[in-house]
Chain A
Amino acid sequence: MDRIPILKLGGALIVSIQVDMHDRLALALEEDLTAMIARTGARGVLIEISALEIVDSFIGRMLVSIAAVSRVLDAETVVAGMRPAVAITLVELGLELTGIKTALNVERGMALIQVRLSEEDDGHGSDRDRHED
């Protein structure tokens, strides 16, 4: 079964969904991502969905649950590049993805994550250093 690749870039993980999501792929992604966050200690997850043309309630719920799991693992999820049609569909489905940050494109999404990363470095820098040692 094919899987969606997860890239690590600094303190962030990047997932670019380029294929039609089906339910098993979504579940596999959630699993892989969770494992990856735990392993790398990433603080931000960027999910890029500009190639995603069709969403259903399951994919919407999957996004919400990925965000929730990431939050538990202290990583922030940013969804970037949603198409207008997808946004309308999600709203009509009643899935407003509360608690997930959104960005127009990857660039802005990365900027959002960078802001959080730099805040973390300022605030809890010593904590994090010790943890990594």
Chain B
Amino acid sequence: MSTDGAGVLERILTEDEAAILDAWNTALREGASLQGGRIREAELRTQAKAVLGQLRDALASNSLDADGEGFAPLRETLADISRSRAIQGFTPTDTANFVFSLKEPIFEALRRSADVDASTLAAGVWAAGKVLDRLGLHTMEVFLASREEVIGRQGQEIAELSTPVVRLWDGILALPLIGTLDSARTGVVMENLLQAIVDEEAEIAIIDITGVPTVDTLVAQHLLKTVAAARLMGADCIVSGIRPQIAQTMVHLGVELNVVSKATLADAFAVALKRTGRKVVRQQAPAEERR
């Protein structure tokens, strides 16, 4: 029966191609696919024509297995379309509808066809439904995979952006941390900091955690690891920017940071300057402060 269905479908697609394509294009135009002008109508037409042509070729192999060999070029085309949709910011519904909206024109064409009896019609409808559903799912899978890829890349970029090591002065580095510290980020932070210590021949590193939303035992452990590694390299660490609520939470949790900590980055910098034998002075003190 399935072979029969594929044959019927192929015949219909060959005989009635123009009408089906027209109806499909109308359906696509009426649907949401064009909304917002994210894609031109001509482009949509080209895509539809290519997909329809390849669907016919695939059916010519007398198979209804949309995962099979004969459908490979069609799957490839759909994957490309789906990927570009994901990047252009289409909704999942729009993307899936591209394939699903082909159903109605094909059913219509089957019905129109004069020499089709009831059982052949049923076979054709079943075949079309089976193939198109599978292809629709395939577009969704590719769509989601591309989105995941985008999300993953963004995550990686954020991780890279949020771990800069800044040179404040000769031998004094600052590491402003932003966001939660997990094991993966701690690794990146640690490597960056240690490499910077070597490159800058730093004596003191200030870890500023103003941008760290919460400090629990795990984050504290990661901080301590970073501090310990820096110490092994011969650099002292100062932790700064612990906000009042965080300080309270830390004490309640029993988290102890056995390192020098200062309230603000400015305080920490002052300590660092003092330790390296430097002092910040005003060139000319205001009159009331001069004693």
Contact = CB atoms under 8 A, between A and B. Distances in A.
Interface of A: 79-80, 82-84, 86-88, 90-92, 96-97, 102-105, 108-109
B87 interface: no
13 contacts: A82-B232, A87-B194, A87-B233, A88-B194, A90-B229, A91-B190, A91-B232, A96-B231, A102-B232, A102-B233, A104-B233, A104-B235, A108-B234
Contacts of B197: 84, 104
B160 to A, nearest CB: 18
Interface residues of B, number: 19
A88 B234 contact: no
Contacts of A91: 190, 225, 228-229, 232
B190 A88 contact: yes
B35 interface: no
A102 B229 contact: no
A91 to B, nearest CB: 5
Given A84-B191, A88-B190, A88-B191, A104 B198 contact: yes
B234 A84 contact: no
Nearest to A108: B234
B201 interface: yes
Given A88-B229, A91-B228, A96-B228, A102 B194 contact: no
10 nearest CB pairs, A to B: A84-B194, A104-B234, A103-B234, A87-B232, A102-B234, A87-B229, A96-B228, A91-B229, A91-B228, A91-B225
Contact of A105 (B195, B201, B228): B201
A108 B198 CA distance: 13
A102 B234 CA distance: 4
A12 B196 CA distance: 29
A53 B139 CA distance: 49
Contacts of A109: 234
Given A80-B234, A102-B233, 8 more contacts: A83-B198, A84-B197, A88-B187, A88-B229, A104-B197, A104-B198, A104-B203, A108-B234
B215 to A, nearest CB: 19
A104 B235 CA distance: 7
A83 B195 CA distance: 9
Contacts of A92: 225
A55 to B, nearest CB: 10
Contacts of A83: 198
A97 B217 CA distance: 22
A103 B203 CA distance: 9
Given A84-B191, A88-B190, A102 B198 contact: no
A105 B199 CA distance: 12
A102 B191 contact: no
B268 to A, nearest CB: 20
A99 to B, nearest CB: 11
A82 B234 contact: yes
Nearest to B190: A88
B198 A84 contact: yes
